[in-house]
């Protein structure tokens, strides 16, 4: 069973997701976002709770960058034009996912991103980066 809650830390409101790890059976708390205003944290809390109830929530230890990017772009689609959406999908599928898509979000480190950027320098022009 998973549940989400807000905790005030200094000046910020932090949304947490608490769940049991299926493998180790340990209780785990994951930070789902930090917000300056309680209203913003409440909005995020509602999103997380809705995701829990609709089984739409991928737990952070199982979420790969590829799944995250595709889910994010799909949800963000309503805010952008269709050509921008197509461009974002093309960039993700051509450049980002082949190199970094297999990494779990919690395993992705700055060195992976830096190595990725270094590899792109050989492929793309400096103006593109």
Tell me whether residue 10 is in a domain.
yes
pLDDT of residue 115: 92
Distance CA 129, CA 35 (A): 30
Query: Is the same domain home to 43 and 86?
Result: no
Report the domain count for the chain: 2
Tell me whether residue 128 is in a domain.
no
Distance CA 129, CA 112 (A): 16
> pLDDT of 68-91, one tens digit each?
899 889 888 989 999 999 999 999
Residue 33: partners with Cβ closer than 8 Å, 6 or more residues away: 14, 15, 41, 44
Looking up residue 102, the CATH number of its domain turns out to be: 1.10.150.130
pTM exceeds 0.85: no
DSSP tag of 104: B
Tell me whether residue 39 is in a domain.
yes
Query: Is the same domain home to 70 and 91?
Result: yes
Query: Is the same domain home to 68 and 31?
Result: no
Distance CA 43, CA 36 (A): 12
Output phi, psi for 70, to 5 deg.
Answer: -65, -40
Full domain range(s) for residue 44: 3-57
Distance CA 39, CA 49 (A): 15
Distance CA 93, CA 98 (A): 7
Mean pLDDT by 10 residues, the chain (129 residues): 86 90 82 91 88 64 85 89 95 94 89 92 81
């Amino acid at each position: 069973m998973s549940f989400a809650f807000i905790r005030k830390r200094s000046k910020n409101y932090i949304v947490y997701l608490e769940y049991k790890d299926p493998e180790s059976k340990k209780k785990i708390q994951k930070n789902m976002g930090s917000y300056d205003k309680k209203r913003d944290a409440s909005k995020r809390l509602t999103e997380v709770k809705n995701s829990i109830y609709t089984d739409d929530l991928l737990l952070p230890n199982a979420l790969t960058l590829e799944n995250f990017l595709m889910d994010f772009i799909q949800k963000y689609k309503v805010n952008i034009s269709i050509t921008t959406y197509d461009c974002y999908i093309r960039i993700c599928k051509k450049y980002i996912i082949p190199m970094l898509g297999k990494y779990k979000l919690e395993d992705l480190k700055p060195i992976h991103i830096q190595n990725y950027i270094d590899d792109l320098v050989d492929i793309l022009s400096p103006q593109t980066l």
